[in-house]
Amino acid sequence: MKFGVVVLPGSNCDHDALHVTHDVLGQEAEVLWHKDTDLKGSDVVIIPGGFAYGDYLRAGALAKFAPIMEPIRRHAEQGGLVLGICNGFQVLTEVGLLPGALMRNQHLRFLSRDVHVRTEETDTPFTSELQAGEVFRVPIAHGEGNYFADDATLDELERNRQVIFRYSDADGRLTPDANPNGSARHIAGICNKGRNVLGMMPHPERCSETVLGNAAGLAVFKSILASFARV
């Protein structure tokens, strides 16, 4: 299978994503430049973390005008897999592939540390190798990770089981202290109704090798491989 990693002006986690998909997983991986107008045969598109277009205006707002976004939209509409990580999650909400928005962190501080997330759903191509309720440690690095949506949208996400990850403590409890940025209902990641587009604020690509002291995030990428093996 082939991964395409989008590079927008200001992306800074593109090489992390390329390393995990190509060097760790052993899959074909290629850079997709923001001015490209096709996905070069990519089966999975990753929009990585960073500060697309400097996060001017607001995070992800300018990225929706990049030429690469239209083929990504078509790819998603046709059932292709799209994974947005951190700034990539912000971009996916701006382009309308995921509902809601990412606002400034509740305490208005940039956060860069490890957190725990609880796996809510496993029937997605991104979580099939995880267990429901499984908690794992993963890094965050964001200033605008506070997920917001109105109550009607949040209720719909719950009904459709689109909340994929929630911030929790190490035991899976949804305590106030475990929510680092004030996200509504502890949301750390959601998918679309078709379950082929996932946005998550934590960085699984930064904890995908034992040499880093934590390889828990590799399960997200192994899930993607497993989903293709079942096709």
The yes-or-no answer on residue 34 being catalytic is no
pTM score: 0.97
Instruction: Give the active site residue among 13, 86, 191, 207.
Output: 86
Mean pLDDT of 82-87: 98
Quote the CA–CA distance of 14 and 67 in Å, as a whole number. Answer: 18
Q: How confident is the model at residue 231 (pLDDT cuts 50, 70, 90)?
A: low
Instruction: Give the active site residue among 94, 120, 121, 205.
Output: 205
Quote the CA–CA distance of 223 and 70 in Å, as a whole number. Answer: 26
Give the tens place of pLDDT for each residue, 94-132. 999 999 999 999 999 999 999 999 999 999 999 999 999
Give the tens place of pLDDT for each residue, 133-175. 999 999 999 999 999 999 999 999 999 999 999 999 999 999 9
Domain boundaries, the chain: 2-229
pLDDT for res 32: 98
Quote the CA–CA distance of 145 and 100 in Å, as a whole number. Answer: 12
- 2-229: CATH architecture: 3-Layer(aba) Sandwich (3.40)
Distances (CA, A) of 78 to 28, 72, 196: 21, 10, 10
* Coil, strand or helix at 105: coil
Instruction: Give the active site residue among 120, 144, 203, 207.
Output: 203
The yes-or-no answer on residue 94 being catalytic is no
pLDDT for res 57: 84
Give the tens place of pLDDT for each residue, 167-219. 999 999 999 999 999 999 999 999 999 999 999 999 999 999 999 999 999 99
Alpha-carbon torsion, ordered 174, 175, 177, 179, to 10 deg? 30
The yes-or-no answer on residue 207 being catalytic is no
Q: What ranges in the chain are assigned the alpha helix state H?
A: 14-18, 69-77, 87-94, 151-159, 218-229
Sheet holding 44-47, edge to edge: 28-33, 2-7, 44-47, 81-85, 197-200, 187-191, 163-168, 111-119, 135-142
Give the tens place of pLDDT for each residue, 30-53. 999 999 999 999 999 999 999 999
Please compute, for residue 136, the number of CA atoms within 13 A of its CA located in the half-sphere on the CB side: 25
Q: How confident is the model at residue 228 (pLDDT cuts 50, 70, 90)?
A: confident
Quote the CA–CA distance of 84 and 82 in Å, as a whole number. Answer: 7
What is the residue-averaged pLDDT of the chain? 97
